[in-house]
Amino acid sequence: MSDAEQTRQKILDVSADEIHKNGFNATSLSVILEKCEISKGALYYHFTNKIELGYAVFEEIYVPMFLGMWEPALSVKDPIEGLCDFFNTVSNEMICDEAVCGCPLNNLCQEMANVDEGFRQRILNMQEQLNDLISSSLQKISNQLRNNIDYSQVSYFIVASFNGSMNLSRSSRNKELFQKVIAELCHYIKALKK
Amino acid sequence: MSDAEQTRQKILDVSADEIHKNGFNATSLSVILEKCEISKGALYYHFTNKIELGYAVFEEIYVPMFLGMWEPALSVKDPIEGLCDFFNTVSNEMICDEAVCGCPLNNLCQEMANVDEGFRQRILNMQEQLNDLISSSLQKISNQLRNNIDYSQVSYFIVASFNGSMNLSRSSRNKELFQKVIAELCHYIKALKK
DNA sequence: AATATAACCGACCGATTGGTTTGTGGCAAG
DNA sequence: CTTGCCACAAACCAATCGGTCGGTTATATT
């Protein structure tokens, strides 16, 4: 990787971290510059403006990370078990000492989807991708599941509930509460089976 | 109501609206002053600073509005039906023309719970109040429900899922999607019955 | 050696932010 | 009539924001 690419990557990594912690608007470019130990000129050489930097973080950091988490959970023999394991892992591994930051994509979604059309489109795209992933995984074992299941509806509900749970735990900073809600979510998912 | 009280109330109302639309940090005091047609001196006569204004909006506007929505839904003969009616009403009455703003309390929760301890405490307090409300309402008809129900867990899950659904609809701006997720939530709630 | 370009520096800019301070009209009490 | 306080108005402040721009350095090319 060339020097320039390294700088660009460092900007992306630091920005992803800062945006995750503070949200997009509250993230200051000057803080990013400090942590990267670069000048403003360097940043604006690689990115035309703040929002383009945000898009790049979304596409090059958040989306791969996001899919890298969900995909393995769904591409197992039993996606129902896979999902529950995934949710439980997330809820168990949650760190309570520091401020809980929640899912970066989910956060960005709440903050920016209504403000900026570029973010909104990217978020929508992600949501649809994830929904396809879940619903197709569930359909593969449809013979084991209840009849009359609207797979798209169920998938969106699972994602919505999981996000809602993360938000709850984020604001309450209560790991046990998070685990309880996740337990109920898993209870619901498992009830999809016959 | 005295003149002073009227100005104070107007500040609260306008601020509540602005914070609902833009979030707390993105809400500018100057915009509030314009819409209220008052000067900065007036605002700082009634409130010591921006965050105290935020607390006042939370306590005097959002909380009463919030409880005023949930309570009637739960204080009916069948709270299960009450909840489903409530959720369906919300999803049907949602306005898609303008930017969908979601639940102000939920938004504030995501934005501020990890940033400001004062907001976090107030939010936590609200969440517990709501959870008590739901779980006690469900317990009243426990004879009609399945055995082995963890009422607190179920209540938190309902709230988390509902919030997650609102967030989903907020970012997708898709009323039908919202209604589908709500339908699944109602499906889950009704399955609590024997 | 001269030139060109990529990669970056850092001073500067206008706009806006939350917040302070000084002043002032009106009304009520003495 | 005057004094004093309430309820503001309006100018002002430092800090910070995202963004611009002229200049510099290192490397590659001719």
**Out of B1-5, B80-84, B117-121, B144-148, least confident range:** B1-5
All structural domains of chain A with their residue ranges: 58-190
Say yes or no to pLDDT of B117 above 60: yes
DSSP element (H, E) containing B12: helix B3-22
Q: Give B67→chain A minimum CA distance, Å.
A: 18
Q: Say which residue the tokens 């769904």 belong to.
A: A74
B-chain residues near A123 (CB < 8 A): 171
Of residues A99, A164, A181, nearest to B114 (C-beta): A99
Q: What is the pLDDT of residue B93?
A: 85
Nearest-neighbour CA in chain A from B73: distance (Å): 21
Residues 6+ apart with CB under 8 A from A145: A138, A192, A193, A194
Q: Is the pLDDT of residue A172 over 90?
A: no
Q: What band does B98 get if pLDDT is binned at 50, 70 and 90?
A: low
Report the pLDDT averaged over residues A93-116.
80
CA separation for the pair B20, B103 (Å, rounded): 8
pLDDT-derived band of residue A99, with 50, 70 and 90 as boundaries?
Answer: low
Confidence at residue B81, expressed as pLDDT on a 0 to 100 scale: 97
Q: Report if CB A29 to strand D is under 7 Å.
A: yes
Q: Band of the pLDDT at B27, cuts 50, 70, 90?
A: very high
For the cut 70, the answer to whether the pLDDT of residue B70 exceeds it is: yes
Which of the pair, A171 or B56, is modelled with greater confidence?
Answer: B56
Q: Nearest nucleotide by C1' from A26 CA?
A: D17
CA angle A124/A129/A131 to nearest 5° reads: 95
| Residue from the list B159, B180, B188 with its beta carbon closest to the beta carbon of A188 | B188
Q: Which of A109-113, B91-95, B144-148, B168-172 has the lowest mean pLDDT?
A: B91-95
Confidence of residue B136 (pLDDT cuts 50, 70, 90): very high
Quick one: DSSP state of residue B146?
P
Where residue B174 falls among pLDDT bands split at 50, 70, 90?
Answer: confident
Determine whether the interchain pair A171/B114 forms a contact, defined as Cβ–Cβ distance below 8 Å: yes
pLDDT of residue B1: 72
Q: Is the CB of A163 under 7 A from strand C?
A: no
Q: Mean pLDDT throughout B122-149?
A: 95
A26 Cβ contacts chain C strand, under 7 Å: no
pLDDT score at A13: 97
pLDDT value for A94:
79
A108 touches chain B (CB under 8 A): no
d(CA B154, CA B57): 30
Q: CA-to-CA distance for A16 and A106, rounded, in angstroms? A: 13
Contact with chain A for residue B145, Cβ under 8 A: no
The pLDDT tens digits of the residues spanning A58-84 come to 999 999 999 999 999 999 999 999 999
Flag whether pLDDT at A145 surpasses 70: yes
Distance from residue A5 (CA) to nucleotide D30 (C1'), in Å? Answer: 27
Q: How far apart are CA A14 and CA A56, in angstroms?
A: 12
Could you tell me which residues come within 8 angstroms of residue B77 by beta carbon, excluding any fewer than 6 positions away?
none
Q: Identify which of B35, B22, B30 has the alpha carbon closest to the alpha carbon of residue B107.
A: B22
- pLDDT of B173: 85
In the predicted model, is pLDDT for residue B99 greater than 60?
Answer: no
Are residues B114 and A100 in contact, defined by beta-carbon separation less than 8 angstroms?
yes
Taking CA atoms, what residue in B is nearest to A103?
B110
Output the 3-class SS for A41-57: HHHHHHCCCHHHHHHHH
Average pLDDT over residues A150-177: 93
B78 has a pLDDT exceeding 60: yes
Q: State mean pLDDT over A91-120.
A: 83
Give the pLDDT band (50/70/90) at residue A114.
confident
Q: Are A153 and A69 in contact (CB under 8 A)?
A: no
The CATH topology of domain B58-190 is: Tetracycline Repressor; domain 2 (1.10.357)
* Residue A113: φ, ψ to 5°: -60, -35
Considering only residues 38-77 of protein chain B, which place a Cβ less than 7 A from any atom of strand D?
38-42, 44-46
Can you give the pLDDT at residue B105?
Answer: 92
Which of the listed ranges A116-120, B154-158, B163-167 does the model predict with the highest average pLDDT? B154-158
Note the pLDDT of residue A98: 56
How many Cα atoms are found within 13 Å in the side-chain-facing hemisphere of A192?
30
CB A83 within 8 A of CB A74: yes
pLDDT over 90 for what percent of chain B? 82
Nucleotide nearest to A39 (CA to C1'): C9
Q: Which nucleotide is nearest to A51 (CA to C1')?
A: D18
> Mean pLDDT highest for which of A166-175, B97-106, B125-134?
B125-134
B44 touches strand C (CB under 7 A): yes
| Separation between Cα atoms, residue A113 and residue A36, nearest integer Å | 28
The minimal CB distance from A164 to the residues B161, B173, B191 is found for: B161
Query: What does the alpha-carbon distance between residue A71 and residue A82 come to, in Å, rounded to a whole number?
Result: 10
Residue labelled with tokens 């409300």: B133
Exposed/middle/buried for A85, CB within 10 Å: 0-12, 13-18, 19+? middle
Instruction: Please give the mean pLDDT across all residues of chain B.
Output: 93
**CB neighbour list of residue A107: distance below 8 Å, 6 or more residues apart:** A20, A23, A101, B110
Confidence (pLDDT) at A77: 95
- Percent helix, strand, coil in chain B, to 5, is 75, 0, 20
Q: Is the pLDDT of residue B97 over 80?
A: no
Chain B residues with beta carbon closer than 8 angstroms to that of A124:
171-172
As given in the structure block, the two tokens for residue A83 are 């999902």
CA-based nearest distance A6→chain B, Å: 32
- Alpha carbons A122 and A54: distance in angstroms, whole number: 11
Q: Does A94 touch chain B (CB under 8 A)?
A: no
The answer to whether B150 faces chain A, any CB pair under 8 Å, is yes
